[in-house]
Amino acid sequence: MPKARKITRRTPPSTPTLPVPAIAADRLLGDVRALIEAAREQTARAVNLALVGLYWHIGTRIRQDILREKRAGYGEEIVATLSRQLTAEFGRGYSKPNRSRMSGGRKHSRTGGRCSTP
């Protein structure tokens, strides 16, 4: 009987890895940090812009639909009720003082409620 041949697997030669110079690694780390910070800043601006728009629209609806552009005596009660309902459903940020600022902010702004972005 013939002898069984031993099968050996050949592995391709590995390419030598060059060590990354410390200066290049530091520069890479700095670049990645800058990218992360820029993305965080952009995100914060976008969220702030969306919230300002949201609050402005909520205030406009309160003034137009509920208060009919007047300071109705029952307006405070409506704002308090709305605040409780929104806080129960969406959490913090919809307190009565915040709702009052939303519904009264346009009167005090110089631009008449229009917002501009930088």
The pLDDT tens digits of the residues spanning 78-110 come to: 778 888 888 888 887 777 666 556 655 444 444
The pLDDT tens digits of the residues spanning 14-69 come to: 666 666 677 888 899 999 999 999 999 999 999 999 999 998 898 888 878 777 76
- Token pair in block for residue 57: 């629209």
pTM as predicted: 0.53
Please state, for a pLDDT cut of 70, what percent of the chain lies above it.
Answer: 58
How many other β-carbons are positioned within 10 Å of the β-carbon of residue 79?
Answer: 21
Cα–Cα distance, 109 to 104 (Å, whole number): 9
What pLDDT, on the 0 to 100 scale, is given for residue 38? Answer: 95
